[in-house]
Amino acid sequence: MQREASAQTLLELHPQDLRHSRKRLENYLCEWLGGPKLFGTAYVNPDWIKRRHQHLAIGFEARDQWLYCMRLAMHELALDSDLQFALNKEFFKLAGYIRNQV
């Protein structure tokens, strides 16, 4: 999102130093996808994620920017297209669930 001019709304929701945010997302995704328990099982459920983001104004624009960044990341990692499709569906559900603005 730092490299994408079209993701500025999303970037502004984050602290200037993104190291902690990156690590938390990495750990969350690792566990969410069935990998090692790096994040904490209690925190990988959608209700916790929604509560964790409720203080941020997440509307359609920020949601779509996050989804765009996730698609770019999957493309850069050269993930299989079927896997990208499946992950996009799940990311869309999750991003829609934590959206709290119109």
Residues 63 and 37 in one domain: no
Residues 72 and 47 in one domain: no
Residues 75 and 97 in one domain: yes
In terms of residue numbers, what domain contains 78?
Answer: 57-102
Count how many domains the chain has: 2
> Does residue 50 belong to any structural domain of this protein?
yes
Rounded Cα–Cα distance for residues 43 and 87 (Å)? 19
pTM strictly above 0.85: yes
> Does residue 15 belong to any structural domain of this protein?
no
- Mind listing the pLDDT tens digit of every residue in the chain (102 residues)? 999 999 999 999 999 999 999 998 998 888 888 888 887 766 777 888 899 999 999 999 999 999 999 999 999 999 999 999 999 999 999 999 999 998
Residues 49 and 67 in one domain: no
The pLDDT score that the predictor gives to residue 38 is 83
Residues 67 and 35 in one domain: no
The pLDDT score that the predictor gives to residue 43 is 72
Angle at 41 between CA 37 and CA 43, to 5 degrees: 120
If you write DSSP's letter for every residue of 13-70 in order, what string do you get?
Answer: TS-S--HHHHHHHHHHHHHHTT----S-GGGSSHHHHHHHHTTS---HHHHHHHHHHH
Rounded Cα–Cα distance for residues 42 and 63 (Å)? 23
